[in-house]
Structure 1
Amino acid sequence: MGRVSQAQAQENRKRVVEMASRLFREQGTSVSVADLMKAAGLTHGGFYKQFASKEALIDEAVSHAFDELAERRAAALEDNDGERNAAQRVVIDTYLSARHRDSPATGCPAAGLATDMARDPGDRGAHHTYADGVSDFADWLATDDEDGIVRLCTMLGAVVLARATKDTPLSDEILEAARAALTPAP
């Protein structure tokens, strides 16, 4: 098999990071390199040509996931003509939806990676990227009247509990209660 071009190697790397970002949010960072590369449609041996270690990939995948989250927040702000409160409401409603609950692979990295980051010793780049991403999201959620950390904790806790109780009536109740608490009727 011949060597791949530099452009193809960059595309392969991007595909691995994107797939890792999805799989880690959905299944945790314990996903094996072999399974990850298979899901990306690449060989296991190719991994070490792209990444120094699995930890290096985790670092990039966590950063990628939080970049996606920031892009969604920016899009909500743009879609609402820069009206921050309206954009926040859209983000909260989307976050506390059955669709988000049922789609951890494309969902919020704060919720999808929380358990893995809690088990992380804290000396890896991913741990710091995670903390920065959570802080940034909380800052974005803050209002003149409400602390963004409280809002994020309510949202994240609701999604984690709703996922843990999925396929029971309690799951939808949790999402609805959190949504009502954070977006009261005008």
Structure 2
Amino acid sequence: MKVSKEKAAQNRAALIETAARLFRERGIDGVGVAEIGKAAGLTHGALYAHFPSKEALAAEALEHGLQISHARMTAAREGRLPSLSELLDSYLSEEKRDDIANGCALAASASDIGRLDETISARYSDGLEKMAAVFEKHLHAHKVKGNQREKAMAIAVALIGAIAASRAVLKAQPELANEILRAVRRTVGEIAGE
């Protein structure tokens, strides 16, 4: 039975959304195509009807996650854009750290990306550039002295690393995990002129 174009588009979107969530939760190598298909309510054969490989799906899933993360960072709050302080507080919160499935795709996939192909690395690079650009606009608005692009990139990478490191130690040393978030928040705030 042939699937309509509309249903095919829905199936593709379900695969991308499911893969994005599962890849953030368990890493790209930690999830198989059969599991992704099943979690999306489809077969792994349906997955290969939409994507030539798991890597192609990973690239699309990463892009999807990055779009969601960017939209959250730039979404209006109470009729205005979020302040730099609000962005830092939100990103470095315990709630965001603990919600891996819905968290930042950059933080969740940082260690995976270096082992994958250039297409996926390019998507990650674009997402990192967009994140840094958000911070650069805030630094410019605050008239922070020095190389604003360099500082914005340092802030973006510090936040990603803080979430990754905090998650890594959370089970063994929850107090250290929280200390990491607080230390990076305070230090990044100083860089940003807060």
Tell whether the structures are fold-level matches, with TM greater than 0.5.
yes
Aligned counterpart for 1:153 among listed residues 139, 157, 160: 157
- State the number of aligned residues: 179
Amino acid at match of 2:92: L
Q: Does 2:19 correspond to 1:20?
A: yes
Q: Does 2:118 correspond to 1:119?
A: no
SS in 1 for 2:178: helix
Instruction: State the Cα deviation string for residues 85-131 of structure 1 (Å, max 9, x = none).
Output: x53222211110111111112111111111111112x43x2210111
Q: For the residues of structure 1 that align with 2:101 and 2:86, how far apart are their CA atoms?
A: 20
Counterpart of 1:176 in structure 2 is: 182
Amino acid at match of 2:186: A
Q: For the residues of structure 1 that align with 2:181 and 2:44, how far apart are their CA atoms?
A: 39
> TM-score, normalised on structure 2?
0.85
Amino acid at match of 2:161: G
Q: For the residues of structure 1 that align with 2:185 and 2:85, how far apart are their CA atoms?
A: 9
Amino acid at match of 2:182: E
> TM-score, normalised on structure 1?
0.88
Q: For the residues of structure 1 that align with 2:5 and 2:185, how far apart are their CA atoms?
A: 47
Q: For the residues of structure 1 that align with 2:169 and 2:11, how far apart are their CA atoms?
A: 37
SS in 2 for 1:172: helix
Amino acid at match of 1:105: A
Regions of 4+ moved over 6 Å:
none
Amino acid at match of 1:141: F
**Cα RMSD, aligned residues only:** 1.9
C-alpha spacing 1:45/1:21, structure 2 compared with 1 (3 Å): same
Q: Structure 2: which 5+ residue stretches go unaligned?
A: none
Counterpart of 1:67 in structure 2 is: 67
Aligned counterpart for 1:94 among listed residues 90, 95, 103: 90
Amino acid at match of 1:170: L
SS in 2 for 1:115: helix
SS in 2 for 1:181: helix
Q: For the residues of structure 1 that align with 2:78 and 2:166, how far apart are their CA atoms?
A: 28
Q: For the residues of structure 2 that align with 1:87 and 1:18, how far apart are their CA atoms?
A: 29
SS in 2 for 1:42: coil
Q: What is the CA-CA distance between 1:34 and the residue it aligns to?
A: 0.5
Counterpart of 1:107 in structure 2 is: 103
Q: What is the CA-CA distance between 1:183 and the residue it aligns to?
A: 3.2
SS in 2 for 1:3: coil
Q: What is the CA-CA distance between 1:80 and the residue it aligns to?
A: 5.7
| Contact 1:80/1:87 (<8 A) preserved | no
